Structure 1
Amino acid sequence: MALRIDHTTTSGTFSLDGQTFDVDNNAWVVGDDRECVVIDAPHDVAAILALVGDREVLAVLCTHAHDDHVRKAPELADAVGAPVFLHPDDMVLWNLTHPDRPPDRELADRQVVGVGGSGLQVLHTPGHAPGAVCLHSVDLGVVFTGDTLFAGGPGATGRSYSDFDVIVRSIRDRLLTLPDSTVVHPGHGESTTIGAVRPQFDEWVRRGY
């Protein structure tokens, strides 16, 4: 069966450092007609379940643990009977939202999460958050970047547990090494390609974004 990507956008809030903002988040489902994985679980379980349909959910994969990406992860995982995966370096952020419910399993750099006869490779890309990861599918020619890379630049680094120099290294060493044709599906906003963002990278670094 053919591997495919399903997508929805949900609306809610993001809170950190005593401030709260309205945000729209992308949620992505990758799989075939029988099974899938969910990438991020932001604000609306019903909207994600509509994408899943009657498929088996193998995992809920968190690109990082800011509350707008994981707020519904335990609820979604319980609804579909799947484990929540998170990189352990993001536990400090996870515990701000879910102090009494740890993730079920850890994500590790270079790990491959299998789905639909294919796989998503985990790329640890700290900077926006210490445990931020991107998920790369060679077969689909896409990378799910969470809040590490957007069409307009790198993820924000002005809040707790973030670092601009670190995110620059992550993008340069882990994402710009991918083929230019690789489609970038971020956690917010429109998709782009590695080829489209590559020429902008030096300018982002020069101005400190």
Structure 2
Amino acid sequence: MLCKPTDKFFAHGNVRPVTTTINQISVGGMDNNVYLVSDSAGRALLVDAANEADRILDFARDTGAVELIVTTHRHLDHWYALAEVREGLGVPAVAGVNDAAGIDAPTDRTLSDGEVLTVGRLVFDVIELVGHTPGSIALALRPEFDGAPVHLFTGDSLFPGGVGKTGSPEDFGSLLTDVTAKLFDRYDDDTVVHPGHGKGTTLGAERPHLQEWRERGW
């Protein structure tokens, strides 16, 4: 288990801890990242019940009171354990409106682009990114305090080194356009990216390569 409290911030010469905590584990043969985002009271949101339901349930019960499960997109490796985890935690599950029909596990309601999702003191902006799938979503966790970074949970739409896999030039163009307009053009360089697999990055680290990605076509 990897526990990553978010950064501290300075106010009037004093250092106060940001009370949001992001915990992460990797599960399954494809090393899917599962994220648990908790506020100061332990009220939490789980991102992608991907695999190994027993591990996810133990992880969730150890690190926060989960109130909602979000599935970033319809690919099986991101929701294989969803039905069991949803039942075990007794909480609702949500997914993007244009991907929910492709998720063969209970989805209690859908999320639309531009919607605001609130769990306890946590506030997330829902961002639809079309291309990896027809209705992938990212979540942007708003900073709790001035000076703290935004945290993006991008599923398979954005990784260190490029956007997610797409099946056609049209899908690639759609995804890169969405990622550019809705993420890079909106958020600052210190924005932290938490992808669906592997290590994280920041928008600042990836921004200089946008044109390179467009030219190479993947």
TM-score, length basis structure 1: 0.86
The one-letter code matched in structure 1 to 2:112 is A
The one-letter code matched in structure 2 to 1:45 is A
Say whether the 8 Å CA contact 2:100–2:110 is kept in structure 1: no
Equivalent residue number for residue 44 of structure 1: 52
Q: Kindly, what percent of the aligned residue pairs are identical?
A: 36
Instruction: Report deviation, 1:87.
Output: 1.1
The one-letter code matched in structure 1 to 2:181 is D
1:199 has 2:208 as partner? yes
2:172 to 148, 161, 164: 164
Say whether the 8 Å CA contact 1:3–1:116 is kept in structure 2: no
Instruction: Report deviation, 1:92.
Output: 4.5
| Separation in 2, partners of 1:166, 1:87 | 17
Unaligned runs of 5+ residues in structure 2 are 1-17, 144-148
Equivalent residue number for residue 79 of structure 2: 70
Equivalent residue number for residue 139 of structure 2: 135
- Where 1:103 maps in the other structure, the secondary structure is coil
Equivalent residue number for residue 5 of structure 1: 22
Say whether the 8 Å CA contact 1:74–1:84 is kept in structure 2: no
Number of positions where the alignment pairs a residue of Structure 1 with one of Structure 2: 192
The one-letter code matched in structure 2 to 1:105 is R
- Where 1:53 maps in the other structure, the secondary structure is helix
1:120 to 120, 124, 127: 124
Equivalent residue number for residue 185 of structure 1: 194
1:147 has 2:151 as partner? no
Cα deviation code 1:4-27 (max 9, x no counterpart): 101000123xxxxxxxxxx11100
Instruction: Pick the structure with greater CA Rg.
Output: 2
The one-letter code matched in structure 2 to 1:67 is L
| Separation in 2, partners of 1:189, 1:167 | 20
| Separation in 2, partners of 1:50, 1:195 | 34
| Separation in 2, partners of 1:47, 1:110 | 32
